[in-house]
Amino acid sequence: MHRPDMRSLTLIANHKLHGSRESLTAYIHALDAACATLSDQLQIMLAVPHVFLSHAMSARAAASRLHITSQDVSQHAHGAYTGEISSAMLAGIGVTHTLVGHSETRSRLALDDGAVARTALQAQASGVTPIVCIGENLGDYDAGNTHSVLSKQVESLREVIAAQHPCLIAYEPRWAIGSGKTPLMQEIAGAHSVIRRAIHNICDGEKLARDSAIPLLYGGSVTPANVHEILALPEVGGALIGSASLEVSSMIAMASAASALLERK
């Protein structure tokens, strides 16, 4: 299936707790070279551990299209929060995007939806674009509660969605992360429609342009084998990819599939 209105796609490689300075350098050089030949409408981001952010930014080619992204950021501007980094610190070294509320971060730090929203607002206030992750757990999925959980999570992001600064929303069903399982394609499409409707309800008439400007990404066991089918779904504006992004050849294969989809429009 193809969306006639498809204008751009975003692919984010989330490297989680993987890699070294050396392996990251080689990865960036290879991805940079491959990106140069792909559709201009494809945005590619790479979320690296904090300690590698500066290095990753300087390892890019001069005309690189690769956006280096943080994997998380503090909800606080400053203070006695040992081990945290602030969005102003990210902005200060030129980082433009950060993941917020990834399910692994939510679990590790016991973050609720309110804390995730505050973190996203803090990022926006520093000029850093949050990529906010939402998604149901297996119990909610099995109980048929996916849509109500997603509507509630989007509602908790009301101020983030209504803010002037951009944001992205990534739908990652918790049970699909790292499990090799994905929802059925119609379930992914249905979840994205629910998220879009919930965003639409938050945005009043004047902000409709803003509504459609919030890209929705799917994440959870995306691979070179399923990326084309997922990206072709209505409302899916990209993918957030963990394990399958670690090998650069696999990431390039997925970026090429996305580019081909864009060029066929």
DSSP letters spanning 161-195: HHSSS--EEEE--GGGTTTS----HHHHHHHHHHH
- Is 192 an active-site residue? no
Question: Stretches 17-25, 117-125, 152-160, 220-228: which one binds ligand 13P (CB under 6 A)?
Answer: 220-228
Written as six digits, the tokens of 139 are 């119990």
Using rule CB under 6 A, residue 45 touches ligand 13P: no
Q: Which CB atom, from 58 or from 179, has the smaller least distance to ligand 13P?
A: 179
Using rule CB under 6 A, residue 24 touches ligand 13P: no
Closest separation in Å from C-beta 222 to ligand 13P: 5
Using rule CB under 6 A, residue 178 touches ligand 13P: yes
Using rule CB under 6 A, residue 130 touches ligand 13P: no
Contact yes or no for 132/101 (Cβ under 8 A): yes
In the region spanning residues 230 to 259, those forming contacts with ligand 13P, defined by CB under 6 A, are 240-244
- Is 136 an active-site residue? no
Fill in the DSSP letter of residue 220.
Answer: S
Closest separation in Å from C-beta 31 to ligand 13P: 17
DSSP letters spanning 83-148: T---HHHHHHTT--EEEES-HHHHHHHT--HHHHHHHHHHHHHTT-EEEEEE---HHHHHTT-HHH
Among 177, 199, 214, 255, binds ligand 13P (CB under 6 A): 177
In the region spanning residues 147 to 176, those forming contacts with ligand 13P, defined by CB under 6 A, are 172
In the region spanning residues 93 to 112, those forming contacts with ligand 13P, defined by CB under 6 A, are 102
Active-site option among 104, 136, 172, 235 = 172
CA distance 175 to 179: 7
Handedness of CA 236, 240, 241, 246 (dihedral sign): positive
Q: Which CB atom, from 134 or from 240, has the smaller least distance to ligand 13P?
A: 240
* 175 contact partners, CB below 8 Å, separation of at least 6: 136, 137, 138, 141, 181, 220
Contact residues for ligand 13P (CB under 6 A)? 14, 102, 172, 177-178, 219-222, 240-244
Residues classed as catalytic: 102, 172
